[in-house]
């Protein structure tokens, strides 16, 4: 059992009696705490469905990303014990030492993501290779005894699970009755494989279609680094002695580098293994894909503001490299947005928008009028319209619908143009606007990107691109724009194509012209002999070179860059400038930071500023220590909630370092938790 608490203490685990009906409860929470009870139900439902979509999408992405790794592993596993199947009696097979096939899977330091990978892996293995997969964690295996217990428990249970669906008379062996030795594991394996061999036809079809006759037993060590050397060594030595009877395959989950194998295992043990290395995708690439698929798309109505995105990315890059945490953070943003913003009810797909806008209540209309971006918008309108907007609800609704649709279109266009701009900036030397599209995205959201120095310098650099690069970039842009769903890009695509044809036409003309220019100027130079004239012509020549250097290609290049610049200025307006952006963009970075970047020191300061609460708890501890009898006597009447709060306060105090369990006598925490003395 584990808890999410950071403090040490005693925790009570009650068996979960029934599945709680969580959704209703949360919906209720949404309602009870928000001040204006506007559309809370609907907001909650929207939030849920949106999150479900996103969750499905992320799982899909992760599956795709891990596919390569899993495929490799599966092929390795199916290869690993092929000679076990054939039972070859060839000379080499007899002479060779039977090593345990081992896959060292390097997964990177983002340990929180590994769980998902391993779950996917064991699912895939169970589907394709073998039903016998055991997942071991270091914290469950402090000694070889525990490891064997855990291993056998998992393996034998998995078999029972499979079997119990089909026949009821399988022998259910209670776990503590089995001797935890390799021999019993082997006899179990033999009985299981034999059973499937001589099973009924229906059973055989089931097993032989997916697994072989003697499927390997896969043991996955989730966190190789944390296992103690001795446990691993003993396990490997034992299993290598029985590799002939039990086709074992080990999978080491490695977070740092494969060198850890050599550090943990001496040569005498590592020589028993046949280690192959597998590497998963780097977490940065993983994140890029997630951002690309979740944020830079118009499929989801919900958007992240610049600061929020920056916070999430910073946590990822600076702290944990964990894609799971990033997605959790994203989820938090969604929930927070739908919870705190009453107008988030309008943050939905375009199809539902009209209905929702027209069913807005008056209070919600007032909410719209209070939005800063809307007020800015109103101020720009002529006075007649202003009054209409501020007083007439139905007019407001019509306007809102239009504005939201604009916002939707804006976003669609934004993404396409962003990708185009990224094509250019990602190939520039030194990447003034960042290499990754997420950096560019942040820069564009932050403020008007064309006013920044980095943009200026990247345009400068873009004006120096060579022709082949430029042409290929333009082609990429054309592809992006044609595949985008935005409707406004027909003209743009045409223009870009025109550029492309112009580039093609240039090739011949350009070369000849260049030669002409140089020849004529040379001739002129030869004619003059006068020093003054010579100087003058040289100066002229220099001048002309400076201006005339613009060949046709260069002119065209300027044109292209200017055109891109115009597109950027038109479409990459920061979202903050758009009217009603508050409805779809979540921008409360401080809230998010408060949730995700816990600062113990700040907590300590508030505790010291408001010591009342803590002192009260402290005095209770002291009192309890002094008068244990009184406490025990009155413990019958103690309210459960107060009791729980007290224990929690004690563990908080312990965490903050104000109190500390002593080792001399039964410490307060234990005594108070267990009651009595």
Partner 1 sequence: MPNLEHPAYPAADLLHLESLVPCRESQVSMLLSIFGERQQFSFPSIFIYGHTSSGKTYVMQTLLTTLQLPHVFVNCVEYFTSRLLLEEILIQLQSCSGSEQTSAVHCDSLNDFVRLFKQALAARELQDQTLYIVLDRAEQLREMEANILPAFLRLQELTDRNVTVVLLSEIVWELFRPNIGCFEPFTMYFPDYSIGHLQKILSQNHPPDYSADFYSAYINILLGVFYMVCRDLKELRHLAALNFAKYCEPVVRGEANERDTRKLWKNIEPHLKKAMQTVYLREISSSQWERLQHDGGEPGQLKGLSAHTHVELPYYSKFLLIAAYLASYNPVRTDKRFFLKHHGKIRKTNFLKKHEKTSNHLLGPKPFPLDRLLAILYSIVDNRVAPTANIFSQITSLVTLQLLSIVGQNDQLDGPRYKCTVSLDFIRAIAR
Tokens for 197?
A: 């061999």
Residue 433: exposure state from Cβ atoms within 10 A (0-12, 13-18, ≥19): buried
Member of 70, 232, 261, 291 binding partner 1 (CB under 8 A): 261
Told to check if 75 binds partner 1 by CB under 8 A, we report no
Q: Least distance (Å) from partner 1 to the CB of residue 80? A: 8
| Contact flag: residue 319 with partner 1 (CB under 8 A) | yes
Shortest Å distance, C-beta 625 to partner 1: 17
What's the min distance (Å) between Cβ of 139 and partner 1? 10
Cβ at position 517, least distance to partner 1 in Å: 49
Closer Cβ to partner 1, 235 or 489, answer by number: 235
Residue 527, CA distances (Å) to 530, 533, 540 in order: 9, 10, 15
Binder among 273, 287, 291, 403 for partner 1 (CB under 8 A): 273
Task: For partner 1, give the closer residue by CB, 179 or 613.
Answer: 179
Tell me if residue 453 falls in helix, strand or coil. helix
Q: Which of residues 573-632 bind partner 1 (CB under 8 A)?
A: 597-601
User: Residue 370 interacts with partner 1 (CB under 8 A)?
Assistant: no
Residue numbers 430-469 binding partner 1 by CB under 8 A: none
Q: Which structure tokens are listed for 610?
A: 């408001």
Choose between 237 and 509: whose C-beta lies nearer to partner 1.
237
- 258 touches partner 1 by CB under 8 A: yes
Query: 418: number of CA atoms within 13 Å, CB side?
Result: 27
Rule CB under 8 A: say whether 92 interacts with partner 1: yes
What is the token pair recorded at 490?
Answer: 């027909």
Among 101, 131, 301, 329, binds partner 1 (CB under 8 A): 101
Residue 318 binds to partner 1 (criterion: CB under 8 A):
yes
8-state DSSP, 360: -
What's phi and psi for 584, nearest 5 deg? -105, -20
Does residue number 255 form part of the binding site for partner 1 (CB under 8 A)? Answer: yes
- The dihedrals phi and psi of 303, each to the nearest 5 degrees, come to -130, 155
Which run of H or E residues covers position 274? strand 273-279
Q: Is 475 in the site for partner 1 (CB under 8 A)?
A: no
Which of 97, 355, 529, 530 is in the footprint of partner 1 by CB under 8 A?
97
Instruction: Give the one residue of 10, 173, 237, 615 binding partner 1; rule: CB under 8 A.
Output: 237
Taking the complex as a whole, the smallest distance from the CB of residue 316 to partner 1 amounts, in Å, to: 8
Distance CA 117, CA 324 (A): 11
Q: How far is CA 278 from the centre of its chain?
A: 21
Using rule CB under 8 A, residue 151 touches partner 1: no
Q: How many residues bind partner 1 (CB under 8 A)?
A: 67
222 and 136 in contact (C-beta within 8 Å)?
Answer: yes
The reply to whether 91 sits near partner 1 by the rule CB under 8 A is yes
- Does position 241 interact with partner 1 (CB under 8 A)? The reply is yes
CA distance 197 to 233: 34
Q: Choose which of 45, 158, 186, 275 interacts with partner 1 (CB under 8 A).
A: 275
CB of 180 or CB of 334, closer to partner 1:
180
Position 238 contacts partner 1 (CB under 8 A): yes
Q: Is 187 in the site for partner 1 (CB under 8 A)?
A: no
Alpha-carbon span 164 to 168, nearest angstrom: 5
13 binds partner 1 (CB under 8 A): no
Angle, CA of 317, 53 and 487, to the nearest 5°: 90
Work out the number of other CB atoms within 10 angstroms of the CB of residue 494. 11
Give the binding range for partner 1 (CB under 8 A) out of 263-271, 288-296, 421-429, 666-674.
263-271
Give me the sheet containing 100-106, strands edge to edge: 133-136, 217-221, 248-254, 100-106, 273-279
> How many angstroms separate the CA atoms of 502 and 499, rounded?
5
* Helix, strand, coil percent content, the chain, rounded in steps of 5: 70, 5, 25
Q: Which helix (H) or strand (E) holds 135?
A: strand 133-136
Part in contact with partner 1 (CB under 8 A); list of ranges 66-74, 129-137, 299-307, 313-321: 313-321
Q: With H, G, I as helix, E, B as strand and everything else as coil, classify residue 218.
A: strand
At residue 408, φ and ψ (nearest 5 deg) are: -65, -50
| Contact positions vs partner 1 (CB under 8 A) | 79-80, 91-92, 95-97, 99, 101-102, 104, 106, 108-109, 111, 144-145, 177, 179-183, 223, 225-226, 234, 237-238, 241, 255-262, 267-268, 270-271, 273-277, 279, 282-284, 315-321, 597-601, 654-655, 657, 660
């Amino acid at each position: 059992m584990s808890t999410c608490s950071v403090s040490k203490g005693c925790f009570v685990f009650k068996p979960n009696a029934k599945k709680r009906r969580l959704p209703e409860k949360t919906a209720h929470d949404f309602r009870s705490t928000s001040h204006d009870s506007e559309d809370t139900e609907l907001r909650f439902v929207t939030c849920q469905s949106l999150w479900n979509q996103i969750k499905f999408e992320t799982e899909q992405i992760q599956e795709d990303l891990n596919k390569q790794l899993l495929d490799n592993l599966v092929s390795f596993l199916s290869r690993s014990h092929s000679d076990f199947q054939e039972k070859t009696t060839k000379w080499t097979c007899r002479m060779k030492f039977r090593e345990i096939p081992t896959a060292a899977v390097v997964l990177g330091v983002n340990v929180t993501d590994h769980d998902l990978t391993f779950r996917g892996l064991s699912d895939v293995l169970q589907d394709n290779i073998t039903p016998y997969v055991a997942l071991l964690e270091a914290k469950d295996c402090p000694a070889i005894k525990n490891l064997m217990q855990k291993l056998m428990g998992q393996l034998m249970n998995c078999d029972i699970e499979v079997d119990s669906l089909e026949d009821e008379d399988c022998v259910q062996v209670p776990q503590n009755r089995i001797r935890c030795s390799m021999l019993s594991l082997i006899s179990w394996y033999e009985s299981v494989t034999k059973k499937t061999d001589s099973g009924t036809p229906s059973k055989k079809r089931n097993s032989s279609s997916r697994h072989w006759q003697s499927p390997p037993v896969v043991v996955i060590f989730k966190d190789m680094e944390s296992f103690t050397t001795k446990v691993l060594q003993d396990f490997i030595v034992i299993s290598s002695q029985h590799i002939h009877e039990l086709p074992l395959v080990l999978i080491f989950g490695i977070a740092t580098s494969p060198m850890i194998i050599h550090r943990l295992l001496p040569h005498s043990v590592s020589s028993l293994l046949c280690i192959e290395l597998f590497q998963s995708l780097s977490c940065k690439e993983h994140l890029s894909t997630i951002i690309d698929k979740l944020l830079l798309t118009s499929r989801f109505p919900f958007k992240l503001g610049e600061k929020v995105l920056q916070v999430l990315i910073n946590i990822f890059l600076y702290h944990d490299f964990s894609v799971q945490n990033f997605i959790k953070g994203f989820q938090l943003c969604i929930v927070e947005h739908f919870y705190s913003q009453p107008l988030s009810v309008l943050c939905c797909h375009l199809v539902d928008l009209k209905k929702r806008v027209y069913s807005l209540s008056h209070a919600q209309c007032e909410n719209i009028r209070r939005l800063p971006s809307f007020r800015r918008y109103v101020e720009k309108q002529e006075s007649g319209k202003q009054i209409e907007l501020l007083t007439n609800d139905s007019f407001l609704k019509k306007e809102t619908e239009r504005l939201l649709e604009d916002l939707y279109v804006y976003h669609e266009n934004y993404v396409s143009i962003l990708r185009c701009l990224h094509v250019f900036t990602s190939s520039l030397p030194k990447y003034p606007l960042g290499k990754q599209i997420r950096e560019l995205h942040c820069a564009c959201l932050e403020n008007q990107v064309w006013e920044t120095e980095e943009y200026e310098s990247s345009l400068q650099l873009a004006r120096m691109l060579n022709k082949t690069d430029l042409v290929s970039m333009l082609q990429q842009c054309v592809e992006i724009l044609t595949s985008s769903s935005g409707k406004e890009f027909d003209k743009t695509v045409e223009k870009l194509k025109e550029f492309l044809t112009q580039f093609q036409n240039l090739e011949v003309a350009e070369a000849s012209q260049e030669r002409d220019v140089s020849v004529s100027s040379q001739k002129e130079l030869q004619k003059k002999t006068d020093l003054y004239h010579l100087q003058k012509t040289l100066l002229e020549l220099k001048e002309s070179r400076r201006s005339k250097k613009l060949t046709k290609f260069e002119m065209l290049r300027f044109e292209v860059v200017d055109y891109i610049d115009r597109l950027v200025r038109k479409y990459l307006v920061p979202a903050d400038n758009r009217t009603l952006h508050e409805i779809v963009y979540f921008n409360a970075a401080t809230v998010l930071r408060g949730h995700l970047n816990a600062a113990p020191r700040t907590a300590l300061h508030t505790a010291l500023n408001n010591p009342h609460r803590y002192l009260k708890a402290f005095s209770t501890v002291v009192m309890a220590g002094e008068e244990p009898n009184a406490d025990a006597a009155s413990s019958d009447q103690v309210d459960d909630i107060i009791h729980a709060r007290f224990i929690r306060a004690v563990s908080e105090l312990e965490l903050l370092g104000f109190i500390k369990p002593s080792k001399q006598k039964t410490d307060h925490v234990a005594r108070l938790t267990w009651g009595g003395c």
